[in-house]
Homo-oligomer: A and B are copies of this chain.
Amino acid sequence: MSHYEIDPNTPRVTAELADWIVGLRAGDIPDSVRREGLRTFVNWMGCAVGGADHETVDCALAAVTPFAGKTTSTVLGRRERLDAPHAALINGISSHVLDYDDTHLKTIIHPAGPVASALLALAEMRPVSGRDFLTALIVGVEVECRIGNAVYPPHYDRGWHITGTAGVFGAAAAVGKMIGLDAQRMRWALGLAGTQASGFREMFGTMTKSFHPGRAAQNGLMSALLAEAGFDSSERVIEAPRGFAHVMSDKQDWTEILGGLGEHWEAGLNSYKPFACGIVIHPTIDGCLQIRDEIGDRVRRIASVKLTAHPLVLELTGKRSPQTGLEGKFSVYHAAAAALLRGDGAPTAFTDEVVRADDIIALRDTVQAEASGDIHEASVKIDVTFDDGTTLHKHVERAIGSREVPLTDAQIDEKFTRQSALVIGDDDTARLLKASWALETLSDVADAARASVPTAAGQVA
């Protein structure tokens, strides 16, 4: 089986990564990274509750509820309870469904959905302290982002939704860490996770996009639990000739996975979306909101808008005439119009109503977008022409929410509150926000999950 044999120069990537996961102690993680892990958790919780009453979640719940097992685990932001794997699925969906979650900017992975959804669902069944939970969360994010780095961008370019494909590794690693797998079982868990890596970008614009992080959470969780039960797997899933990196990408950079493990932290580079849509539209929304602030009522006098952006922006969000709120998230044209006319980039800017509003359509139809190889992915140039022929130019170098202009804790609070309050009301939101920031002090993190359940007074939907 000659060409099946692994190149002897290939490092034992899966095994070395598993060793690192197993050996890591809470105290090995720098304070700044733990702090970013906490912000990751808080932002994720707000998004999961914010998305909890979405139709996508209703449909998924309707399908899985007849098969629910022991209801140990919370469906965040709702009264229903499910078994842990199903709760992981639903919470992974709700945390992503508004396209409002966190982003690892190097890979466009949304790290928390797969990892935190798997962890918290199981933590309600097997109690764990906030400190150990946070360690596992950071490990999971680190693993998925490093694996993503090793194969990005060719992996993504081929059509894989990397939040699903890398996320399932992160969920398995995190859960495996939380339940204390040994090194061999950790290798198996990664093997079981990798062989389930899936999710096409073709699904963008449908409910199935947010199914991906949900399923990655559920499958990663079960990978760790199968390995725990002795279910064996390949011990070299990442690097093998017929393994993840070779089968699903044209790039395999092992140093992205093994280089500086424990020294350099990808988990410390997470970012949080200020706007409820794909990250590549954020500079456009940021710039249009700035223009709106500057010109006031003159937004009604805009004759045309020209965007100059990186080619990826048009590739990912080039929907010319979106018909639904969901499609609007994949339309840089819509996002520009909604930011200019409504001053909005929150979930409320991406409803069916707004997408179909006459004034939005009229302005959207005047927006032109041009791809330029000279401009950074995180930048945009906006040229507005008014009906009197005057023009205005705005160059956004880096949008709010980027690593250069990160959301402050207060801005995370505001984002959390604005979306959560729509689902569970102000009082329950305040209680949940407090419990979420207190994660590391909790002796049982299940308390945070249960704090998301709306009280009688809090139920909005």
Contacts and interface: CB of A to CB of B under 8 A. Distances in A.
A43 to B, nearest CB: 26
A195 B191 contact: no
A159 B246 contact: yes
In this complex, which of A60, A67, A316 has the most chain B Cβ atoms within 10 angstroms of its Cβ?
A67
A63 interface: yes
A207 B233 contact: yes
B206 A233 contact: yes
B70 A70 contact: no
B66 A200 contact: no
Contact of A215 (B196, B203, B242): B196
Nearest to A238: B202
Interface in A90-127: 125
Interface string A314-357: 11111100000000000000000000000000000000000000
Contact of A192 (B211, B229, B318): B211
A208 B191 contact: yes
Contact of A233 (B191, B203, B247, B314): B203
Nearest to A228: B63
A84 interface: yes
Given A160-B247, A233-B207, A318-B4, A198 B196 contact: yes
A167 interface: no
Contacts of A236: 202
Given A198-B197, A233-B207, A4 B315 contact: yes
A63 B70 CA distance: 14
Given A1-B314, A60-B231, A247-B160, A195 B207 contact: no
A229 B207 CA distance: 12
Given A1-B314, A67-B70, A208 B195 contact: yes
A278 to B, nearest CB: 12
Interface string A202-238: 1100111001100100000010011011111110110
A158 B242 CA distance: 7
Contact of A1 (B1, B68, B70, B319): B319
B231 A59 contact: yes
A200 B315 contact: no
A70 B314 CA distance: 47
Interface string A229-268: 1111110110011111011000000000000000000000
Given A159-B246, A194-B200, A206-B232, 11 more contacts: A56-B231, A60-B229, A62-B230, A64-B222, A68-B69, A195-B203, A195-B212, A196-B199, A200-B243, A200-B247, A206-B234
Top 7 closest A-B pairs, CB basis? A1-B318, A159-B242, A159-B247, A63-B229, A202-B242, A198-B198, A59-B231
15 contacts: A59-B226, A62-B229, A62-B230, A63-B226, A63-B229, A69-B83, A159-B243, A195-B200, A195-B202, A202-B247, A203-B234, A206-B233, A207-B232, A207-B233, A208-B233
